[in-house]
Amino acid sequence: MTPILENIPLAPHSTFRLGGLARYFAEAGSPAAIPELVAFAQKKNLPIHVLGEGSNTIFSDAAINKFFLKLGFDAIREIRKDQTEVVIEIEAGVSWDKAVAWSVERGYQGIETLSGIPGTVGAAPIQNIGAYGQEFANVAVEIRAYDIESSSPIVLRPKDCEFGYRISVFKKSGRGRYIITGVTIRLSLLPPAIPAYPGIKEKLASEGISSPSLQDIRRIILATRAEKLPDPRKYPNVGSFFENPLISQAQAEKLKRNYPNLPIFPASGGKAKVSAGWLIDACGLKEKDFDHLHVDKRNALVLVNDGSATFQTVIETAQEIIKSVRTKFGIELEIEPDLVS
């Protein structure tokens, strides 16, 4: 029987270091422990919140009347390998970057540019994590989950997951329904491509590397991230606070005429992706201090908690930034992290 704790502080469970008390908290040691914990929450009529590493979650500082479930299982298993590819099962509690390091060490290609993304493997499908040209959806084979609605384990295929840019079914119609217990991914044994990202290409070239190994790519991505993003252990943050907005091609062309430096990238569905950080910077908000919150000087997409922010100041600051961008550019920013109250 898994111990169920009451009134547990949530701040240590978020890299934003903000949070009140969890009404109930339990850590499942295996997928088999989940049904009894779900049954307990259902008997109490409480919603279940799955805790990862909290690197994309901001908790309210009030008491939160939910059942908080942490997943404490973390095995990585190679299940099939041939001349060109390998299939791997990874349990939800594994740190994402540990899974990347494990794959890179073995010469398995497909997630190396996702090096250094904080969080757990179980959370990777939620917003279809992505960076430097790769995203989780590209390697996904299966997502194993416990379906709270039917009280049974379920296997989802990528086509069921509606993966898109920082989105999936788990943030839409399936929100709150699934406890992801593990993923199966397919990686390639072929040599890696050079990431086509400015900054990464130049760094490789400056080291005279024309055919980078997976280790070269991982090292350069980790160094680039360390330069560009404040370390949440020193500066509490949840990475990008806003998603890069997707706009129509017509709107993108119009904006480009008025703001020739605005970074715009092609996106799926004929849309254009605009840099939210650039928009915030262009509103003069980079390095701005709000109420116990600071817009990071290296990356205007990142809000840093000085240690005394409240949930209210977070909401007010987000609204102020959204309003500034709307007024100047006519673009609506969307908050990326899960705001839990």
Ligand X SMILES: Cc1cc2nc3c(=O)[nH]c(=O)nc-3n(C[C@H](O)[C@H](O)[C@H](O)COP(=O)(O)OP(=O)(O)OC[C@H]3O[C@@H](n4cnc5c(N)ncnc54)[C@H](O)[C@@H]3O)c2cc1C
Q: Which amino acid is at 317?
A: T
Nearest distance from C-beta of residue 88 to ligand X, angstroms: 17
Which phi and psi (to 5°) does residue 216 adopt? -60, -45
Per rule CB under 6 A, is residue 134 in the interface with ligand X?
no
First to last CA, the chain: 28
Per rule CB under 6 A, is residue 113 in the interface with ligand X?
no
Burial of 157-166, coded b for 16+ CB within 10 Å and e otherwise, reads ebeebbbbbb
Per rule CB under 6 A, is residue 130 in the interface with ligand X?
yes
Provide the 3-class DSSP secondary structure of residue 187: strand
Residue with smaller CB distance to ligand X, 129 or 318: 129
**210 is known as an active-site residue:** no
Per rule CB under 6 A, is residue 273 in the interface with ligand X?
no
Separation between Cα atoms, residue 230 and residue 243, nearest integer Å = 18
**By rule CB under 6 A, what string of x and - marks binding of each residue 75-94 to ligand X?**
-----------------x--
**336 is known as an active-site residue:** yes
Name which of residues 315 to 334 contact ligand X (CB under 6 A): none
Residue with smaller CB distance to ligand X, 104 or 238: 238
Torsion angle, alpha carbons of 117, 137, 145, 10, to 10: 30
DSSP assigned state of 103 = H
Nearest distance from C-beta of residue 14 to ligand X, angstroms: 7
Per rule CB under 6 A, is residue 53 in the interface with ligand X?
yes
Among 21, 41, 56, 301, binds ligand X (CB under 6 A): 56
Which phi and psi (to 5°) does residue 261 adopt? -85, -5
Contact status, residue 14 vs residue 57, Cβ threshold 8 Å:
yes
Name which of residues 5 to 34 contact ligand X (CB under 6 A): 15
Q: Which amino acid is at 214?
A: L
Largest CA distance in the chain: 63
Residue with smaller CB distance to ligand X, 192 or 239: 239
What's the half-sphere exposure (Cβ side, CA atoms, 13 Å) at 73?
A: 18
Nearest distance from C-beta of residue 164 to ligand X, angstroms: 12
Residue with smaller CB distance to ligand X, 131 or 300: 131
Applying CB under 6 A, the site for ligand X has a residue count of 33
Q: Find the part of the chain contacting ligand X (CB under 6 A) among 83-91, 235-243, 247-255, 259-267.
A: 235-243
Among 129, 217, 246, 280, binds ligand X (CB under 6 A): 129
Per rule CB under 6 A, is residue 52 in the interface with ligand X?
yes
Q: Among positive and negative, which fits the CA dihedral 170, 173, 174, 175?
A: positive
Among 50, 64, 295, 309, binds ligand X (CB under 6 A): 50
Separation between Cα atoms, residue 260 and residue 130, nearest integer Å = 26
**213 is known as an active-site residue:** no
Nearest distance from C-beta of residue 181 to ligand X, angstroms: 7
Residue 75 neighbours by CB distance under 10 Å: 11
Separation between Cα atoms, residue 187 and residue 297, nearest integer Å = 36
Residue with smaller CB distance to ligand X, 28 or 255: 28
- Among all residues, which ones are annotated catalytic? 166, 240, 336
Contact positions toward ligand X, by CB under 6 A?
Answer: 15, 49-57, 71, 92, 117-120, 122-124, 126-127, 129-131, 178-180, 229, 232, 237-239, 338
